[in-house]
Chain A
Amino acid sequence: EAGVVQSPRYKIIEKKQPVAFWCNPISGHNTLYWYLQNLGQGPELLIRYENEEAVDDSQLPKDRFSAERLKGVDSTLKIQPAELGDSAVYLCASSHRDPTTDTQYFGPGTRLTVL
């Protein structure tokens, strides 16, 4: 069974440019998460979807970040415009249904460098 797929794996852009990340969760997983991870830190939740609905986006900087999960499967995370401080690894994860009990499976992440 394929795991969580993310693309691209690496992205280098100049500040003020837009960037988008794509995530394909494990088949059948209803819950999808986007995390930001800075070097030497644990992941920080940006947004959580249950099917198509964003049920927790309280930590998403909505002035520049947006996300969508059309049809409750794939998801994209966009930053526009990117800032130097956005350089980090963006992780996507999915779980079957219940975020309190189900195992989360993480993708390999997208490493973003903003110059």
Chain B
Amino acid sequence: KNQVEQSPQSLIILEGKNCTLQCNYTVSPFSNLRWYKQDTGRGPVSLTIMTFSENTKSNGRYTATLDADTKQSSLHITASQLSDSASYICVVSAGREYGNKLVFGAGTILRVKS
């Protein structure tokens, strides 16, 4: 079982609408949780990094939340644009005591339609 599970696997929304992507993890303890955006044919780009003590962080129209008690994170995209079409990957850093492992989810593929 993957230690970082993302849902949904894929999502189609209309331009201008909001959406929320989910990430559930079992990695424990952890140093931080990251969300990346990966455009087709490109490498992932960091959107947010949250430590276990933070419960929300924003980057423009992207807002990530973290509940360390339930081991859940979400990425909320507001007023979606066509350029938001990409894969969104949740990554949990397992920290020094686990050899600084970064555990990647499989990603959620988002398609924004006009």
Contact = CB atoms under 8 A, between A and B. Distances in A.
Contacts of A109: 41-43
B44 A43 contact: yes
Given A99-B93, A99-B100, A100-B32, A91 B106 contact: no
6 contacts: A42-B106, A91-B43, A101-B31, A104-B102, A108-B41, A108-B42
Nearest to A4: B43
Contacts, number: 55
The contact size tier of chain A is 20 to 34
The contact size tier of chain B is 20 to 34
B100 A56 contact: yes
A68 B96 CA distance: 23
B86 to A, nearest CB: 13
A90 to B, nearest CB: 11
Interface in A87-112: 91, 93, 99-101, 103-109
Contact of A106 (B31, B45, B101): B45
Contact of A42 (B32, B43, B89): B89
Contacts of B95: 100
Nearest to A41: B106
A77 interface: no
Contacts of B99: 56
Contact of A103 (B46, B104, B107): B46
B44 A44 contact: no
A100 B100 contact: yes
B43 A106 contact: yes
A108 B41 CA distance: 7
Contacts of B31: 100-101
Contacts of B46: 103-105
A40 B107 CA distance: 7
Contact of A93 (B4, B32, B43, B93): B43
